[in-house]
């Protein structure tokens, strides 16, 4: 019940294309869903996050779509750029009690120039 399933494991997209990464969770008590971006040799860094009271959040070229009934959420990267090439992790957390994250397994994105 604590798992977060992420797909695909890896993704190759042409420059200018749309990258889509999907995550699914089981525990309906999760109420905070961040996405982290990790470049080689660096620690993950927060990219964008959403609460389940909204269905979509957009920041620049990055959008989270959230489907509460399906217990799924996804990251869309519009106009993908080579500089977006990184590993992306979704996560789920609680906003009360324990604040630990449950991370997905990661998606390695490569954007071709």
Partner 1 sequence: DAGVIQSPRHEVTEMGQEVTLRCKPISGHNSLFWYRQTMMRGLELLIYFNNNVPIDDSGMPEDRFSAKMPNASFSTLKIQPSEPRDSAVYFCASSLHREVNEQFFGPGTRLTVL
Binding site for partner 1 (CB under 8 A): 32, 34, 41-46, 49, 51, 89, 93, 95-96, 98-106
CB of 43 to partner 1, least distance (A): 3
For residue 73, whether the previous peptide bond is cis, meaning omega lies within 30 degrees of 0, is no
CB 7, min distance to partner 1, A: 13
Q: Which secondary-structure segment (H or E) carries 64?
A: strand 62-67
- Residue number, 14 or 28, with CB nearest to partner 1: 28
Nearer to partner 1, 17 or 49 (CB): 49
- Give the shortest CB-98-to-partner 1 separation in angstroms: 6
Q: Are 66 and 73 in contact, with CB atoms under 8 Å apart?
A: yes
Closer to partner 1 by Cβ: residue 43 or 60: 43
DSSP string, 27-67: -TT--BEEEEEE-TTS--EEEEEE-TT-SEEEETTEEEEEE
19 vs 44, which CB is nearer to partner 1? 44
Give residue for tokens 């993704």.
11
């Amino acid at each position: 019940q604590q798992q977060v399933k992420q797909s695909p494991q890896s993704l190759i997209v042409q420059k200018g294309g749309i990258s889509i990464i999907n995550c699914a969770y089981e525990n309906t008590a999760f109420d905070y869903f961040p996405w982290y971006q990790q470049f080689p040799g660096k620690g993950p860094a927060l990219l964008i996050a959403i609460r389940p009271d909204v269905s979509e959040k957009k920041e620049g070229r990055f959008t989270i779509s959230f489907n509460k009934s399906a217990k799924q959420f996804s990251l869309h990267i519009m106009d993908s750029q080579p500089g977006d090439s990184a590993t992306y992790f979704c996560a789920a957390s609680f906003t009360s009690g324990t604040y630990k994250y449950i991370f997905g397994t990661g998606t390695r994105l490569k954007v071709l120039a």
